[in-house]
Amino acid sequence: MDRMLVVVFDNESKAYEGKKALVQLDEEGSIGVYGYAVLAKNADGSATLKQGDDVGPIGSLLGTSLGSLVGVLAGPAGLAVGASAGMLAGGAFDISNAAIGADFVDDVAKVLLPNRVAVVAEIDEDWTTPVDTRMEAIGGTVFRRALSEVKDTIDEENVAAMKADLAQLKAEHANAQADRKARLQEKISQLDSRIEAQLQKAKQRGEAVQRKVQARVQVLKAKAGAERAKAS
């Protein structure tokens, strides 16, 4: 199952140890790691991106779910890009792009306090024990959330409802008196703009999903190549 994973540690040293453990679990085949970042929460409430897996195809993931989650967790004080300059370039820091709920972000934010450091990753895992056992041994607090497509269904239903409202407004506009037509036209224009914005967001998410799929295929090919190289 594809999941967003956040593990919060008391300090940077433990976070790097947690990142190393995550990579080892990937190499062992216990999980699949599609991308990761190490995010430090500063004393002033801002955040610094300490390290990220921005090599090769993984970098393209960081403008979608993973990059958006990192940006959202950075909070209103903003994000200072440290070791991995440019890894989030062009990323939209929108929780809807992260494909997880606001409650998940709130739960993480309660623990990711100033001077704490988090490993944020997008992973594939069949069971939670390998990650939980390794991270808890290091002192990490683990949060995970399955990547869900529920939001896409909600968006589709929302657009359908708005289109129904739009049709009703247009019908009223056609039969309205002159003094009422202007107000109805204003509402029609506003609703039309909202529908267009929703459709544009859906298009962007679809394109992001395609980029993610392509990136994951490249990651799997790279891993298969590395295994063949070891065996030869």
Q: Cα 22 to chain center, whole Å?
A: 18
DSSP category for residue 54: -
Q: What is the pLDDT of residue 4?
A: 86
The CA distance from 199 to 112, in Å, is: 34
DSSP category for residue 86: T
Q: What is the pLDDT of residue 102?
A: 74
118 has a pLDDT exceeding 50:
yes
Residue 209 binned pLDDT confidence (cut-offs 50, 70, 90): low
31 has a pLDDT exceeding 60:
yes
Q: What is the pLDDT of residue 78?
A: 56
The CA distance from 12 to 30, in Å, is: 24
Report the pLDDT averaged over residues 128-132.
Answer: 90
The CA distance from 12 to 117, in Å, is: 6
168 has a pLDDT exceeding 70:
yes
- Helix (H) or strand (E) segment spanning residue 89: none
* Tally of residues, the chain: 232
Residue 7 binned pLDDT confidence (cut-offs 50, 70, 90): very high
Residue 15 binned pLDDT confidence (cut-offs 50, 70, 90): very high
Structure tokens at 120: 């944020």
Instruction: Report the range of poorest mean pLDDT among 21-25, 169-173, 176-180, 206-210.
Output: 206-210
The CA distance from 47 to 141, in Å, is: 18
Q: What is the pLDDT of residue 92?
A: 45
pLDDT digits 0-9 by tens, 37-90: 899 998 888 888 876 654 333 344 444 567 778 878 877 655 554 444 344 444
- The answer to whether the CB of 58 falls within 8 A of the CB of 25 is no
Q: What is the pLDDT of residue 77?
A: 57
Residue 59 has, within 13 A of its CA and on its CB side, a CA count of 10
Of residues 183 and 17, more confidently modeled: 17
The contacts of residue 28 (CB under 8 Å, 6+ apart) are none
Report the pLDDT averaged over residues 12-16.
Answer: 95
Mode of pairing for the β-strands spanning 31-41 and 47-52:
antiparallel
Of residues 5 and 3, more confidently modeled: 5
The contacts of residue 193 (CB under 8 Å, 6+ apart) are none
Tell which phi-psi region holds residue 4, choosing left (phi > 0), alpha (psi between -120 and 50) or beta.
beta
User: Cα separations (Å) of 108 from 75, 176, 205?
Assistant: 12, 51, 24
Structure tokens at 2: 């594809």
Q: What is the pLDDT of residue 20?
A: 93
